[in-house]
Amino acid sequence: MNKRYVSIWFCHLLADWQEIRRPELKGIPFVFATPDHGRMLVSAVSVLAKSRGVEVGMRAADAKAVCPGLEVLDEKPGRALKLMKALGEWCIRYSPFVAVDTFSADGLNMEVSGCPHLWGGEREYLKDIINRLKGKGYTVRGAIADTLGAAWAISRFGKVTPLIAPGAHAEALMSLPPEALRIEKATVAKLQKLGFYQVKSFMGMPRTVLRRRFGEDFLLRLGQALGTHDEHMEPIHVPTVFQERLPCLEPIRTRKGIEIAITRLLESLCLRLEKEGKGLRTGVLKGYRVDGKVVGIDIGTNAPTHSVSHLFKLFELKIDQIRPALGIELFILDAPQVDDLTAPQEVLWKTTPGLNDQSVIQLLDRVAGKVGAHVIKRYLPDARYWPERSIKNAASMSEGAQIPWRTDKPRPTELLSRPEPIEVMALIPDHPPRLFVYKAVRHQIVKADGPERIEREWWLDAGEHRDYYQVEDEQGQRYWLFRSGHYSSDQEYQWFIHGFFA
């Protein structure tokens, strides 16, 4: 798979950020200024101030003369970089590889190989990023290309399309000015002095000539844009609050050594969790091998815990997945997800049935560690009308029900996830059926109770109500049937089976 990159340019980063914080500035021209050798120079300009002739690098006194009523704000060093890092952390939802642009602190670079299809394609992917950033109040432009240099150039200087097809980045660069290659202003001036106003003017020239005239840095930037030189990215890493590290004096290659390392890491981590009243929900163990590769395993719990013995048992189930090879020289244990853990109340008689019993929770954790967390399901009541929608999956074992379970009406022991059509014969309209055929089997009904009317959730979808009946056949088996809507002479309504009683 060829790599694909996205470059996002924040056209007025600090000005947009200030207008988000202070909406009253939207109708007032303003700039940010920073001291430089005893004078104040403009470092960022609002859209309104720029339209009145104020430019970055201008003296603040000259800017006030050009634009009467201009408001000058003091710029704090490092503010733009801090803001870009925060926006970069937000963009990690779109790609795990997000980096602040090192050439200009007003953009983000992302490697998005294999990501756009999750949004339905590159067009929808880029559109979602741009629209959500614009919705936050930022003026942004973005582009996708095979190389980071090409994406950067198109996002800032492109005029045709921001989506550069695979293999078409060289052609897209031809009509752009030299500064689109992220080169120094002095080099741009040299190129323009020689009459090179577009990249295509010098793109095909011998590299030895270009190196002699413009230097190695110029060739590097040209190669990065064309894809002949690799470009390194320093991705933003979201810091993990709860993390423990264990460097090893000698590389660890045995299972016993890995167990000792896990135990020491858990003892340190659980001590911190206990002091802060937290419990681990997700744990990730990484081992950095001598050959430079990283191996790891992860665990999850149904309820927060800081029990060393319990967490060790969960890791122990997966130790065989670690391949130490020549040896592991560094272990890192992360707890990316933790929850508040309330201390249990002391009682004279310990009566903690069901999910209140910690031994049950620990058993479920070990089952999930062996066969997967997806096999464990817990349901809670949901405030919905349709029976198949009246339950929901619990997010955790500690989550409580917001509403009580409904017990005023009988419900089947087994409820079908989707009602299935049946053939029914009823003597009188709106009466229970006398027989029904389900999966080619005829059931003669001897007892029936109902109807119980359940209205459709009209705010979700259109349709008819349901009239439910509890019926019993000649074999003593009980079923839950319903008719969709009323009987009518000009329209036939279907019957369905929805569940089985014990």
One digit per residue, the tens of pLDDT, for the chain of length 502 reads 588 999 999 999 999 999 998 888 888 899 999 888 888 999 889 989 998 899 888 998 999 998 888 989 988 888 889 999 999 988 988 888 899 998 887 899 999 988 898 888 999 999 999 999 999 999 999 999 999 999 999 999 998 899 999 999 999 999 999 999 999 989 999 999 989 999 999 988 898 888 888 889 999 999 999 988 888 888 887 766 788 989 888 899 999 999 999 999 999 999 999 888 899 988 999 998 888 788 989 998 888 889 899 999 999 989 999 999 889 999 999 998 888 886 555 444 455 555 555 676 777 767 776 777 667 777 788 877 788 888 887 766 667 777 888 778 888 988 888 899 999 888 776 678 889 999 989 999 999 988 888 888 777 777 788 889 999 999 999 999 998 887 665 556 789 999 999 7
What is the per-residue pLDDT for 174? Answer: 93
- Are 201 and 283 in a shared domain? no
CATH number at residue 249: 3.30.1490.100
Is 379 among the domain residues?
no
Q: Could you tell me the two tokens for 253?
A: 């290659």
Q: Are residues 40 and 145 in the same domain?
A: yes
133 and 269 fall within a common domain: no
Q: Please, what is the angle between helix 216-226 and helix 207-214, to 10°?
A: 130
Same domain, 61 and 209: yes
Q: Are 266 and 321 in contact (CB under 8 A)?
A: no
Alpha helices in 107-206 (DSSP H): 122-135, 148-157, 169-173, 185-193
Same domain, 266 and 322: yes
Same domain, 86 and 223: yes
Is 369 part of a structural domain of the chain?
no
Does residue 307 sit within a domain? yes
Judgement on whether residues 419 and 446 belong to the same structural domain of the protein:
yes
Residues 247 and 231 in one domain: no
pLDDT of residue 392: 82
The answer to whether position 232 is within a domain reads yes
Quick check: is 384 in a domain? no
User: Which residues does 184 contact at the CB level (< 8 Å), separation at least 6?
Assistant: 217
Q: Among 197, 218, 238, where does a domain finish?
A: 238
Identify whether residues 216 and 282 lie together within a single domain: no
Evaluated on CA atoms 114, 115, 118, 119, the torsion sign reads negative
SS3 content of the chain, % helix, strand, coil (to 5): 30, 30, 40
Q: What is the pLDDT of residue 197?
A: 92
Pairing assessment for the beta strands 71-74 and 30-36 based on DSSP bridges: parallel
No. of H helices and E strands in the chain?
13, 19
Of the three residues 238, 264, 280, the one that is the final residue of a domain is 238
Domain that holds residue 472: 414-500
CATH of the domain at 56: 3.30.70.270
Segments of 146-277 assigned E as strands: 243-252
Residue 284 tokens, joined: 């990730």
- 409 lies in a domain? no
Residue 404 domain flag: no
Same domain, 228 and 286: no
Helix (H, G, I), strand (E, B) or coil at 377: coil
Phi/psi for 223 (5° steps) reads -65, -35
Q: Is 120 exposed, middle or buried (0-12, 13-18, 19+ CB in 10 A)?
A: exposed
Q: Final residue of a domain: which of 340, 369, 389? A: 340
Domain count, the chain: 3
Asked if residue 102 belongs to a domain, the reply is yes
The answer to whether 265 and 246 have CB atoms below 8 angstroms apart is: yes
Do residue 265 and residue 210 come from a single domain? Answer: no
Same domain, 256 and 172: no
Identify whether the C-beta of residue 303 lies closer than 8 Å to the C-beta of residue 362.
no
What order of strands is seen across the sheet that includes strand 243-252? 243-252, 328-340, 278-289, 294-305
